[in-house]
Amino acid sequence: MTSSTTSSPSVALESRAGRRCHNVLNPLHSAHYFSPDVNRELNGLGITHRSAVNFAVRAAALGAVGPGTVTAAFYNYKYELVAAHVPQIWRTASPEDVLAARLRGVDTTLRRLLGEELVASPEMAEAAGLALRATEACSRGARPLYAAHADLPVPEEPHLAYWHAATLLREHRGDGHLTVLLGAELDGLEALVSHTATGKGTRPKWVFSTRGWNQEEWDAAADRLRARGLLDGEGELTEDGVALRRDVEAETDRLDRAPYEHLGAAGIERLTELGTLFVGKAMQAGAFPADLLGKR
């Protein structure tokens, strides 16, 4: 599947063009973490706990790895929660069976959220071609989740190829983002606390229920950020905190610029336009919990 858009690596892109494109691609990938269709498919394999489903579908591309590897790759999950389910999930179902079940669940999910007409539309095929073209410039070095998913075959159907490309671009950016967080000396929970303080992150109750942390640990991470002058007494970002989060995103953009430079400005504009259409439809169909994002 190809696109007629030519790459323009020599043309400097607007600094946030790639981020804006990512922001409409990533939600369509992420919707499967909240999908009852994916849950049913994994339940059919014997993986029934919500956290076990999450670890299985995202880590399966890595193979039957242990809890240390999953914790390292995911970064902001509590090790003890991971270890409660990994490697037991691989004793229940093989990574290959999990990946096949995930794709079946994603297929059902996208058809439900987007509708058959949009799934089969020329726009979907065009978006898949553009997104796959962007992935041609992704790099494997120090990007374990991206590299593992890059070894998977591209699905034939355009809506699944689009989802696969969105997954590659999401994990490519995500792996680079973790490098930046390490450089900023933010551990996994501090990264969550500071992101939530921006108003764009996950509410604490969702962090507790999905990532294994508790209120005491959250408060301790907030205290560490206060000691660095990044949070104030009310849990809001200070000027230094705002600057740090801004710098983290800017450096993440820099490490993630290659696929978007490869796609070129015209391709980014069109892919962002199409991605906005798809994610808007998915949001209207209830792809995510209404209370997922926020400060409190």
Question: pLDDT at residue 147 above 80?
Answer: yes
| Residue 123, both tokens | 């726009």
pLDDT band at 9 (very low <50, low <70, confident <90, very high): very low
Question: pLDDT at residue 4 above 70?
Answer: no
**CA angle (138, 65, 216) in 5-degree steps:** 95
Please tell me the pTM assigned to this model.
0.94
Give CA–CA dist 45/183, Å, rounded. Answer: 39
Q: Give one DSSP letter per residue of 170-218, joined into a string.
A: HHHHHHHHHHHHHHTT--HHHHHHHHHHTTSSB-HHHHHHHH---HHHH
Give the residue from 236, 221, 139 showing the smallest Cα distance to 185.
221
Question: pLDDT at residue 123 above 60?
Answer: yes
pLDDT band at 12 (very low <50, low <70, confident <90, very high): low
Give CA–CA dist 132/161, Å, rounded. Answer: 8
pLDDT of residue 30: 97
pLDDT, average across residues 273-277: 98
Instruction: Identify the three-state secondary structure at position 237.
Output: strand
pLDDT tens-digit readout, 178-209: 999 999 999 999 999 999 999 999 999 999 99
Contacts of 21 by beta carbon, 8 Å cutoff, 6+ apart: 134, 260, 268, 271, 272, 275
pLDDT of residue 59: 98
